[in-house]
Amino acid sequence: MTSPPSKPLFVAIRPPGHHCGEDTPSGFCFVNNVVIVAAHAHPKQKVQRVVVFDIGLHHGNRIQALVWQLNEETYRLALEAEAGTPAPRPGLQMFYGSLHDIMSYPCEDGKPELVQAASVSLHGGHGQHVENIHLQSYKTESEFWHLYDKVYSRLFTRASEFLDKTGGPGDDTVVALTPANMNTHPCRDRPDMFQFHSTNASHVMHAASVPSTRVRKT
């Protein structure tokens, strides 16, 4: 990323890194790829906004935490600018949208702080733009598409609202998609967890593959 890209760029990276914190690996994630890209692109490429779609089995708790931290800093700079202390440059603004199973890692033990974080829906307050949606079970393909149209597609609606609130569409925006793959997930080696995951694998796999295998207007 040494010059402005001329066309969309696809980079396949496994694992997605969404459990890796600022200084601590976790959940088989050693590098938080999306946040590193955002932190690099902001000063180097003059990217002002980043939209993250984290679509898979697990809530990306550490991406959300780092997005929150970056948005908090930008919000603080904006408040200081209103008080007469202009920022050296506009701060980075990020939208984080996650589609995940609330009964799976990192929420499987029901720890309140993790479950609450994985359920946050906040759009503009305190400078935060976060949407979490919980996967639901279904029995038929038509039931899935009903859920997609009525529930899951809200991620894209919220992302569009974020862009509208922060200046509209523009070349200053990076969109990152971090899908999961149940077939390569470490949990399949955990007999105590595999029974639950295999029961729900159909809706998780289907939800994770929607953006690339079937395009529908929203």
Which of 93-107, 155-169, 193-207 comes out lowest in average pLDDT? 193-207
Question: What average pLDDT is seen over the chain?
Answer: 79
The catalytic residue among 19, 42, 100, 206 is 19
Choose among 13, 119, 14, 21: nearest CA to 67. Answer: 21
Asked about 19 being catalytic, the answer comes back as yes
- 199 versus 171: the higher-pLDDT residue is 171
Q: How confident is the model at residue 4 (pLDDT cuts 50, 70, 90)?
A: low
- 151 versus 38: the higher-pLDDT residue is 151
Q: What angle do CA 24, 196, 61 make, to 5 degrees?
A: 25
- 88 versus 5: the higher-pLDDT residue is 88
Q: How confident is the model at residue 34 (pLDDT cuts 50, 70, 90)?
A: confident
- 212 versus 51: the higher-pLDDT residue is 51
pLDDT of residue 30: 81
pLDDT of 38-97, one tens digit each? 888 888 888 999 999 998 889 999 899 999 999 999 999 989 888 888 777 789 999 999
Residue 15 preceded by cis peptide, ω within 30:
yes
pLDDT of residue 211: 36
Q: How confident is the model at residue 138 (pLDDT cuts 50, 70, 90)?
A: very high
Q: How confident is the model at residue 18 (pLDDT cuts 50, 70, 90)?
A: confident
99: β partners: 55, 133
